Chain A
Protein backbone atom coordinates (compact mmCIF):
# COMPACT_ATOMS: atom_id res chain seq x y z
CA UNK A 1 0.00 0.00 0.00
CA UNK A 2 1.37 3.41 -1.00
CA UNK A 3 2.20 5.52 2.01
CA UNK A 4 4.65 7.91 3.66
CA UNK A 5 6.68 6.81 6.67
CA UNK A 6 8.49 8.79 9.32
CA UNK A 7 10.93 7.50 11.91
CA UNK A 8 11.39 7.84 14.76
CA UNK A 9 7.89 8.74 15.93
CA UNK A 10 9.25 10.03 19.24
CA UNK A 11 12.78 11.11 20.14
CA UNK A 12 14.14 12.55 23.40
CA UNK A 13 17.78 13.63 23.28
CA UNK A 14 20.24 15.87 25.05
CA UNK A 15 21.50 19.23 23.86
CA UNK A 16 24.33 19.11 21.32
CA UNK A 17 23.45 15.73 19.83
CA UNK A 18 23.17 15.17 16.09
CA UNK A 19 19.86 13.74 14.95
CA UNK A 20 18.36 12.63 11.66
CA UNK A 21 14.63 12.32 11.07
CA UNK A 22 13.83 9.85 8.33
CA UNK A 23 11.04 10.21 5.75
CA UNK A 24 10.24 7.76 2.98
CA UNK A 25 7.32 7.55 0.57
CA UNK A 26 6.25 4.73 -1.72
CA UNK A 27 3.89 6.74 -3.94
CA UNK A 28 6.46 7.84 -6.52
CA UNK A 29 5.80 11.50 -5.69
CA UNK A 30 8.34 13.96 -7.04
CA UNK A 31 7.72 16.72 -4.46
CA UNK A 32 8.50 16.35 -0.76
CA UNK A 33 8.23 18.75 2.17
CA UNK A 34 9.17 19.17 5.83
CA UNK A 35 6.85 21.14 8.12
CA UNK A 36 7.30 22.17 11.74
CA UNK A 37 4.25 22.33 14.01
CA UNK A 38 3.97 23.54 17.59
CA UNK A 39 0.84 22.94 19.72
CA UNK A 40 -2.07 25.17 18.71
CA UNK A 41 -0.07 26.77 15.92
CA UNK A 42 -0.15 26.51 12.15
CA UNK A 43 2.23 24.34 10.16
CA UNK A 44 5.34 26.13 8.94
CA UNK A 45 7.27 24.98 5.85
CA UNK A 46 10.98 24.58 6.64
CA UNK A 47 12.27 22.63 3.59
CA UNK A 48 10.98 21.32 0.28
CA UNK A 49 12.25 19.42 -2.74
CA UNK A 50 10.99 19.29 -6.34
CA UNK A 51 13.00 16.15 -7.12
CA UNK A 52 16.31 14.37 -6.77
CA UNK A 53 19.23 16.71 -5.94
CA UNK A 54 16.78 19.62 -5.53
CA UNK A 55 16.26 21.17 -2.08
CA UNK A 56 15.02 24.60 -1.02
CA UNK A 57 14.50 26.39 2.28
CA UNK A 58 10.93 27.12 3.25
CA UNK A 59 9.22 30.08 4.87
CA UNK A 60 10.43 29.41 8.40
CA UNK A 61 14.15 29.70 9.05
CA UNK A 62 15.54 26.44 10.36
CA UNK A 63 18.99 25.28 11.41
CA UNK A 64 18.20 21.86 10.00
CA UNK A 65 19.41 20.56 6.63
CA UNK A 66 17.87 18.11 4.17
CA UNK A 67 19.02 15.94 1.27
CA UNK A 68 17.25 14.26 -1.66
CA UNK A 69 19.51 11.61 -3.13
CA UNK A 70 16.66 9.24 -3.95
CA UNK A 71 13.12 10.09 -5.03
CA UNK A 72 11.54 8.22 -2.16
CA UNK A 73 13.80 9.44 0.65
CA UNK A 74 13.96 12.94 2.23
CA UNK A 75 15.83 12.93 5.57
CA UNK A 76 16.16 15.97 7.84
CA UNK A 77 19.29 16.48 9.95
CA UNK A 78 20.10 18.66 12.96
CA UNK A 79 23.87 18.80 13.54
CA UNK A 80 23.59 20.08 17.12
CA UNK A 81 20.15 19.90 18.73
CA UNK A 82 19.01 22.60 21.16
CA UNK A 83 15.89 22.90 23.36
CA UNK A 84 14.51 25.46 20.87
CA UNK A 85 14.34 22.63 18.31
CA UNK A 86 11.72 20.84 20.40
CA UNK A 87 8.70 20.47 18.11
CA UNK A 88 6.65 18.15 15.91
CA UNK A 89 8.18 17.61 12.47
CA UNK A 90 5.83 16.51 9.67
CA UNK A 91 6.99 15.15 6.32
CA UNK A 92 4.70 15.32 3.28
CA UNK A 93 4.77 14.50 -0.41
CA UNK A 94 2.76 15.38 -3.49
CA UNK A 95 2.68 14.80 -7.24
CA UNK A 96 1.29 12.24 -9.69
CA UNK A 97 -0.80 10.22 -9.15
CA UNK A 98 -1.98 12.46 -6.26
CA UNK A 99 -2.99 15.33 -8.52
CA UNK A 100 -6.72 16.19 -8.51
CA UNK A 101 -8.73 16.76 -11.71
CA UNK A 102 -8.32 20.50 -11.14
CA UNK A 103 -4.55 20.09 -11.18
CA UNK A 104 -3.99 20.89 -7.52
CA UNK A 105 -1.26 19.05 -5.67
CA UNK A 106 -2.74 17.23 -2.70
CA UNK A 107 -0.30 16.70 0.14
CA UNK A 108 -0.03 13.33 1.85
CA UNK A 109 1.46 13.66 5.34
CA UNK A 110 3.41 11.22 7.45
CA UNK A 111 2.48 10.55 11.07
CA UNK A 112 5.13 12.98 12.31
CA UNK A 113 8.24 12.87 14.49
CA UNK A 114 7.93 14.40 17.95
CA UNK A 115 11.37 15.75 18.97
CA UNK A 116 12.18 16.78 22.54
CA UNK A 117 15.61 18.25 23.28
CA UNK A 118 16.54 18.44 26.95
Chain B
Protein backbone atom coordinates (compact mmCIF):
# COMPACT_ATOMS: atom_id res chain seq x y z
CA UNK B 1 0.00 0.00 0.00
CA UNK B 2 1.40 3.38 -1.00
CA UNK B 3 1.77 5.55 2.07
CA UNK B 4 3.51 8.66 3.33
CA UNK B 5 4.30 8.84 7.05
CA UNK B 6 5.54 11.99 8.76
CA UNK B 7 7.12 12.49 12.15
CA UNK B 8 6.84 13.99 14.58
CA UNK B 9 3.13 14.77 14.48
CA UNK B 10 3.79 18.05 16.26
CA UNK B 11 6.86 19.96 17.41
CA UNK B 12 7.47 23.02 19.56
CA UNK B 13 10.78 24.87 19.35
CA UNK B 14 12.14 28.22 20.50
CA UNK B 15 12.79 31.01 18.04
CA UNK B 16 16.27 30.83 16.57
CA UNK B 17 16.65 27.08 17.03
CA UNK B 18 17.00 24.52 14.24
CA UNK B 19 14.71 21.56 13.67
CA UNK B 20 14.35 18.57 11.36
CA UNK B 21 11.11 17.02 10.15
CA UNK B 22 10.97 13.47 8.81
CA UNK B 23 9.06 11.82 5.97
CA UNK B 24 9.08 8.09 5.16
CA UNK B 25 7.25 6.76 2.14
CA UNK B 26 6.40 3.44 0.54
CA UNK B 27 5.18 4.88 -2.77
CA UNK B 28 6.33 2.91 -5.78
CA UNK B 29 7.18 3.67 -8.48
CA UNK B 30 8.65 6.98 -7.36
CA UNK B 31 8.73 10.18 -9.40
CA UNK B 32 9.31 13.09 -7.05
CA UNK B 33 8.89 14.28 -3.48
CA UNK B 34 7.59 17.69 -2.48
CA UNK B 35 7.49 19.60 0.78
CA UNK B 36 4.69 22.11 1.31
CA UNK B 37 4.16 24.68 4.05
CA UNK B 38 0.56 25.31 5.11
CA UNK B 39 -0.21 28.26 7.37
CA UNK B 40 -3.34 27.98 9.51
CA UNK B 41 -6.44 28.68 7.43
CA UNK B 42 -4.48 28.88 4.17
CA UNK B 43 -3.64 26.60 1.27
CA UNK B 44 -0.29 24.74 1.06
CA UNK B 45 2.64 26.55 -0.56
CA UNK B 46 5.42 24.60 -2.29
CA UNK B 47 8.86 24.76 -0.61
CA UNK B 48 10.89 22.22 -2.58
CA UNK B 49 10.49 19.44 -5.11
CA UNK B 50 13.08 16.69 -5.64
CA UNK B 51 13.40 13.82 -8.09
CA UNK B 52 15.15 10.51 -7.31
CA UNK B 53 18.48 11.87 -8.62
CA UNK B 54 18.54 14.84 -6.22
CA UNK B 55 19.90 14.34 -2.70
CA UNK B 56 19.44 17.83 -1.34
CA UNK B 57 17.71 21.06 -2.25
CA UNK B 58 17.57 24.37 -0.40
CA UNK B 59 15.08 27.21 -0.35
CA UNK B 60 16.38 29.93 1.95
CA UNK B 61 16.44 28.56 5.50
CA UNK B 62 14.73 25.36 4.38
CA UNK B 63 16.86 22.40 3.24
CA UNK B 64 15.30 19.15 2.08
CA UNK B 65 17.18 15.88 1.70
CA UNK B 66 16.14 12.73 -0.09
CA UNK B 67 17.41 9.16 0.18
CA UNK B 68 15.57 7.26 -2.55
CA UNK B 69 17.17 3.98 -1.48
CA UNK B 70 15.75 4.07 2.05
CA UNK B 71 12.69 6.06 0.91
CA UNK B 72 13.26 8.78 3.45
CA UNK B 73 13.26 12.55 3.27
CA UNK B 74 13.89 15.27 5.81
CA UNK B 75 13.20 18.98 5.95
CA UNK B 76 15.68 20.98 8.01
CA UNK B 77 14.76 24.48 9.15
CA UNK B 78 17.64 26.71 10.23
CA UNK B 79 17.38 29.62 12.66
CA UNK B 80 13.62 29.29 13.07
CA UNK B 81 11.37 32.34 13.04
CA UNK B 82 7.90 32.88 14.43
CA UNK B 83 6.57 32.88 10.85
CA UNK B 84 7.77 29.29 10.45
CA UNK B 85 4.87 28.18 12.65
CA UNK B 86 2.79 26.09 10.25
CA UNK B 87 2.01 22.56 9.11
CA UNK B 88 4.67 21.01 6.87
CA UNK B 89 3.33 18.43 4.45
CA UNK B 90 5.32 15.79 2.58
CA UNK B 91 3.85 14.76 -0.79
CA UNK B 92 5.12 11.93 -3.01
CA UNK B 93 4.25 11.46 -6.68
CA UNK B 94 4.36 8.15 -8.51
CA UNK B 95 4.80 7.46 -12.20
CA UNK B 96 1.63 5.41 -12.50
CA UNK B 97 -0.17 7.88 -14.73
CA UNK B 98 0.47 10.79 -17.06
CA UNK B 99 -0.18 13.20 -14.24
CA UNK B 100 1.49 11.18 -11.51
CA UNK B 101 -0.76 10.43 -8.54
CA UNK B 102 0.02 12.40 -5.38
CA UNK B 103 0.22 10.80 -1.93
CA UNK B 104 -0.04 13.23 0.99
CA UNK B 105 1.29 12.87 4.51
CA UNK B 106 -0.71 14.20 7.45
CA UNK B 107 1.83 16.89 8.12
CA UNK B 108 3.99 17.97 11.06
CA UNK B 109 2.56 20.88 13.02
CA UNK B 110 5.47 23.16 13.95
CA UNK B 111 5.08 25.86 16.58
CA UNK B 112 7.85 28.38 17.12
CA UNK B 113 7.77 30.18 20.47
CA UNK B 114 9.47 33.52 21.14
A residues near B (Cβ < 8 Å) are 6, 31, 40-45, 50, 90-92, 100, 102, 104-112, 114
Contacts and interface: CB of A to CB of B under 8 A. Distances in A.
A91 B44 CA distance: 10
Contact of B99 (A31, A44, A90): A31
A107 to B, nearest CB: 7
Contacts of A106: 34, 46, 49
A20 B97 CA distance: 30
Nearest to B50: A102
Contact of A42 (B42, B49, B104): B104
Interface of B: 4, 9, 31-32, 34, 41-46, 49, 51, 89, 93, 99-100, 102, 104-107, 109
Nearest to B46: A106
A104 to B, nearest CB: 5
B91 to A, nearest CB: 8
A107 B100 CA distance: 12
B90 to A, nearest CB: 10
A100 B34 CA distance: 12
A103 B114 CA distance: 40
Most buried by B among A40, A42, A107: A42
A107 B109 CA distance: 21
B43 A112 contact: yes
A41 B32 CA distance: 21
A71 B99 CA distance: 18
B44 A109 contact: yes
Contacts of A44: 104
